[in-house]
Structure 1
Amino acid sequence: MDPSAALRDFLVSRRARLRPEDVGLAEQGPRRVAGLRREEVAALAAVSLDHYIRLERGQASRVSDTVLQAVASALRLTSGERRYLFALARSGAARGADAKVDADAGTGVRPSVQSILDSLADTPAYLVGRNGLLLAWNRPAVEVFLDFAEIPAPRRLIGRLVFGDPRSRLLYADWEAKAREVVGFLRTQVGNRPHDPALAAHIRELLSISADFRRLWSAQDVLERAHGSCCILHPTAGPLMLNYETLQPFDTPEKLLVVYAAEPGSASAAAVRELCARTRVDQ
């Protein structure tokens, strides 16, 4: 992907969502486009207009961290959006690193990680690699979500499951929220590895197969948090309210462990235990 174009699109979208009154400015006549003008952002950030225009055109190699922080504050960026801005602005130094990650990260799963997953008898959990590739999971995850082993390994991507598999729309009570979360995750992945050809190909595929992905991708949202809750509409157990946390192994930052659990003592916790107990009996 072109990080300069990504930086341009992101800054334009963040500028467009702000109104003058949002940042303490008076309205000055009709506007041809929505949001703040470039000169207003430059003034709020206390940088020259030419400097800001160069940044919005993706020419960020000579822009200091101080200027980036000032622009981020002027645009009222969240912490996640700031990280994304800095990642794109500093992406030139990451080109070689992206290639190294592609060569070295692989898709292997340590036996100890699989053992930990399997030890979570009543707790759905799975391991996600680069670009949202599902690498490993436990039996409770199969019972609560679906049997990931039925999906060919190269297609076992979170983005493709959510936007390309109709089962996902029946699985999540709030599919839109899940879809936004996945898009935000992929946007963050682009910020981390803008030169990754596999990631670029995955984004192009999702853009080609899903109008919903095109709509959400154009919003330029990034992932703000890696925890939350969701409601799973299980075909036999009914609604399952689950909390989830995303954990990152210290020595493999390209992989994420996602663990789901219901509130102790809740009907959802009892239903998950029952699902897993039936599985153990069948085995």
Structure 2
Amino acid sequence: MKIAESELMLNADGSIYHLNLKPENISDTIIFVGDQDRVGRITKHFDTVEFTTQKREFRTETGIYKGKRLTVISTGIGPDNIDIVLNELDALVNIDLDKRIAKKKLTSLNIIRVGTSGALQKDIPVGAFLASSFALDLNGMLHAYPTEAIARPEIEDAFIKHTAWSPRKSRPLVISGDEKLRDFFNDSGIYHGVTATAGGFYGPQGRVLRLPLQDPGLNRKIDSFAHGELKITNLEMETSAIYGLSGLLGHRAISLNAIIANRANGTFAEHPKKIVEDLITYTLEKVIGIPD
């Protein structure tokens, strides 16, 4: 069935509405960053950059790194932005934009998030790299979609019981990263764990300025939760949305986190940009080995 113009919005030049991209502008391997300035910090390592565009916070550059075509996109902050970015990227590869119908042969993208995060466990040091084996969704955006196929009810129920989760909040979801990419990034020295994704930076992550929290003890409950060998290792604002939408749409995703703070120890990196730069270098050297 033809998709209405109000549902799939295009710009006058035929590019997708928010990202300002056409299908030929992106590769099958895409690196996500939150900060638009970080795009250039990655593509400065490229041999060539063939395409650049920006609309709002969404900056995209596509080029060649050691023979592999890569795209880097800034998503901005939060799960709502991921909803825009992933749906529009999927439309670029899996919808005929002229006919406005889904393609019969679907394309699966490789999506690698390169972001910063704060560790919740004392044994994960500032300066470490962490690959998210699972994501814990605490923000509720994914409940707009049918999540039964990607949810982990046993772990979710245990978390709800452990935290005395308020029934007025959205039900938490636990979602796996892509198993092949998890194995691919299973290098010595890389930490693995469950990344919690909040819908905001202050109250949703337990920070208090002038407003009190609905549950002042929630962070301690999150830190102490365990299900078998699974522990919640870090907290940020995008990973669960990336994993959830990628899983539902048939894309492969992994979230790589530069740990620049440890909230359990109250420490912050002295040189956070250096940690991010090291993660960028590591990621680029790895992604050239991902099969097309």
TM-score by length of 2: 0.22
- Structure showing greater radius of gyration is 1
Structure with greater helix percent: 1
Return the structure number with greater relative CO, CA threshold 8 A, min gap 6. Answer: 2
Structure with greater strand percent: 2
TM-score by length of 1: 0.22
